[in-house]
Amino acid sequence: MSKLRVLLADDHAVLREGLAALINAQDDMQVIAHASDGASAIDQALALRPDV
């Protein structure tokens, strides 16, 4: 079974890191990228094509 690929976007680094740790602890989910603003999130979403 493939993992659900997640792009995290939030302007607070501590929140991004905490959520990434929780998501990556799941067997069926993986954070593939982090974004600190909307423009970066859009760029990464277009390039990486995450599931969420």
pLDDT, tens digit, for every residue of 12-46? 999 999 999 999 999 999 999 999 999 999 999 99
- Domains of the chain are 4-48 (3.40.50.2300)
Q: In the structure encoding, which two tokens stand for residue 22, read together?
A: 């929780």
Predicted pLDDT at 42: 98
Which H or E run contains 11? none
pTM for the structure as a whole: 0.88
Please answer whether residues 8 and 45 qualify as being in contact, where contact means their C-beta atoms are separated by less than 8 angstroms. Answer: no
What is the C-alpha separation between 25 and 47, in angstroms, rounded? 24
Residue 1 confidence class, pLDDT cut points 50, 70, 90:
confident
First to last CA, the chain: 17
